[in-house]
Amino acid sequence: MNQRVPRILDSRYELHDVIGSGGMATVYAAEDTRLGRQVAIKVLRPEHAKDPTFRARFQREAEAVASLNHPCIVAVYDTGAFAPLDEESRDDGDPQATAPMPALKPELEGDPTVALDAGDGAAQVPYIVMERLRGTTLKDLLAEQGELSLDDAVSYAEDILDALAYSHEHGVIHRDIKPANVMVLDRDEEDESLGRPSRIKVMDFGIARALTETATPLTETHTIMGTARYIAPEQARGAVVDARTDLYSVGVVLYQMLAGRPPFDGTTSVEVAGQHLTERPEPPSTHRPEVSEALDEVVLTALQKTRADRFQSAEDFRWALDNAARGLVVRAPGASADAAGAHGAGAGSAAAGLAAAAAYGGRAHDQTAGGYGPDSTSMETVDDPYTTATGEQPQLEEAGVSGFFPQAQDEYSEDELYENERNEAVAAKRRRRAAWKNTILGLVILLLAATAAGAWLYYSHELNKPVYVDVPAVRNVAQDQAEESLRNEGLKVTVKKEYDDSIPSGSAIKTDPREGTQVEKDSTVTLVVSEGPANLTIPTDFAGQSEAYVRSQLEKMGLVAGSTKTVHHPSIPAGMVVDTDPAQGQQVANGSTVNLVLSDGKVAVPQLVGLTRDQAVAALTDKDVLLSTQIETEHSSQPAGTVIRQSAAAETAVAQGSTITITVSQGPAGTTRTASPTPSASASAAQEQEDAQQDSSDDSADQTPAGDAPQTASATPNPSASRRG
């Protein structure tokens, strides 16, 4: 006879669709009608529920696990038990008998659906009520992405270690840490604001432990615990496990998140188990070069074959992982340098483990489990199941959500729970009475809530009527004052800048909406601020000013002072501005770049040789040269009065106001020529020439021409006289 699950459990839990199913249990989406929250209910399969030994030991184990309360562990709200209903209950008009008890899947050949005796007290089927999670399993995430980012992998591993540290402190060893038992929650607003990855929840605490206590030794019952890909060497050998066994499994999961593949893989689970016993894993960086040496060291330390060489606690593991994320290499306390490169357990232990695995028929079971959530449709199926030497198959739990805890937590009182009531008639009567009370109470609460909601809506409408204000006039007002005026009216301000030929830069042009418009208080008004005229004229008074002054003036105008270059100038000191590029007085666009032309304090010497003395003096005293002149004379073949030499070569750059010496020809030797004075000759030079002529006329005995001795004269330019215009 087919057994069915009541639609409503304990007069409060309304079951909906099946969201997961495995060899040990079935998970339903449900609603707690008493507290109005969505939950998940996991129901033990009937063939396990009728075993009194399993139920008693399972309850003792569940009491310890149900006390776990940690943000990284799936929360348990309630537990209970119910008597399954048969198909005939539907003929009696019982609307609750609508959820069929799932039969064991036909993967286990020859295993028929187990019928329960509804009248037997042992036939009470236990269930557990837990939080319903929104997200995906780490297994599905890895299947989709292959490898995770280094930050996400480290964050998820740290959360798993936090959960294990808490459970180990309470004496609970997980024994089946794997990606299928880790739920990655949907990233919420808090995660985004803190810039952290999604949070995780560890599931299935205590199930493997409860199954171990129920069964006889492993080699006798052929019960296989854990998943071959993630089990520690001691689990593969059938040895006693402890907290460090969980840390090895975390190391395997971390390896897979970093490298995109587990450290060991093979065609059968017995091959994988043998690799855990004997082979040394490659560093994750072998498969992913960006993994640091520090992370390699942490993962390889966690995967040591000998427990003494691993991290000794989840806190140690997490501390080392946190340091490795910052590039600090940390080895497990007590681990030797040789241990990091060793192959692990000895040959004897490895041989024993492989022999135990081979006794199961040479095949291994890679047990996986799926999660539950809004996108989950079913639990993972059994892949490559173990078989015993006699062809017998073990009982396997595909734990995808959480453990089973038949004992309720302290959240509910005894009056709320009926699991200890043996008299079903009394229990039914109490349920009906409680249902009437709940119905009346619900109606009263509904009426009060409707009244309160109506009053709230009315007063919120009256109190929250929009308040309108006028946009003030702020044209031609400085930006700060304009913003203050708008905010004083209860308006929010956004600033937009535009060019305007009439409004000075930094003052308001207009508002949008325009001034005088009525808008709701707390609405946003756009303030348009002037950036000055679109085109600007470069001032004409920059010549002779310092570079710093000209740059500041350009910036104030809204122009950008660009690069500099130097030119010769006869009068503007070195480093001072000569001109701009574009030139002074030209118009440029607002925000344009204006380069500066600076004086280098030097002047180019003109070509003087070949000119007459007067032409040379005029060239040196030109307004674009303004150099002083010193004149020397000597006999030469050149015509008298011609410049035959100059002290600085043509086009040579000399300091402003420097003196240039020119040598003027007096003609061939033996001739006397009186050079007519030039306007630029000094009085002393003219006097010397007169004295020389006087001496030559007085010497009657041996007359020597005045030109036989070199004559010098200097001419100093008068800047005020030599400037043109």
Q: Please give the positions annotated as active site.
A: 176
> 625, 617 in Cβ contact below 8 A?
no
> 276, 264 in Cβ contact below 8 A?
yes
With helix as H, strand as E and coil as C, how does 24-40 read?
CEEEEEEEECCCCEEEE
With helix as H, strand as E and coil as C, how does 504-555 read?
CCCEEEEEECCCCCEEECCCEEEEEEECCCCEEECCCCCCCCEHHHHHHHHH
Q: How far is it, in rounded angstroms, from Cα 695 to Cα 673?
A: 15
Strand 560-567 to 8-9 pairing: unpaired
Tokens of 325: 């994320």
Spell out the residues 6+ positions from residue 51 whose beta carbon is closer than 8 angstroms to its own: 214
**What angle do the packed helices 243-259 and 138-145 form, to 10 degrees?**
30
Task: List the alpha helices (DSSP H) in 222-333.
Answer: 233-237, 243-259, 269-278, 293-302, 314-325
Burial group, residue 654, by CB count within 10 angstroms (0-12, 13-18, 19+): middle
Tokens of 165: 């540290």
Q: How far is it, in rounded angstroms, from Cα 489 to Cα 551?
A: 40
> 274, 233 in Cβ contact below 8 A?
no
Q: How far is it, in rounded angstroms, from Cα 446 to Cα 440?
A: 10
Strand order, beta sheet including 593-599: 560-567, 593-599, 577-581
Q: Which helix (H) or strand (E) holds 81?
A: strand 76-82
Q: How far is it, in rounded angstroms, from Cα 711 to Cα 685?
A: 8
> 125, 84 in Cβ contact below 8 A?
yes
- E strands along 275-418, which residues? none
Q: What are the Cα distances from residue 95, in Å, to 40, 192, 198, 284? A: 21, 45, 41, 57
Tokens of 118: 């509804």
| 329 alpha carbon, distance to own chain's centre | 24
Q: How far is it, in rounded angstroms, from Cα 420 to Cα 409?
A: 14
Tokens of 199: 């949070």
Tokens of 337: 């340098």
Q: Which helix (H) or strand (E) holds 562?
A: strand 560-567
Q: Which helix (H) or strand (E) holds 561?
A: strand 560-567
Q: How far is it, in rounded angstroms, from Cα 137 to Cα 142?
A: 9
Tokens of 87: 């198909």
Beta bridge partners of 665: 634
Q: How far is it, in rounded angstroms, from Cα 596 to Cα 582?
A: 9
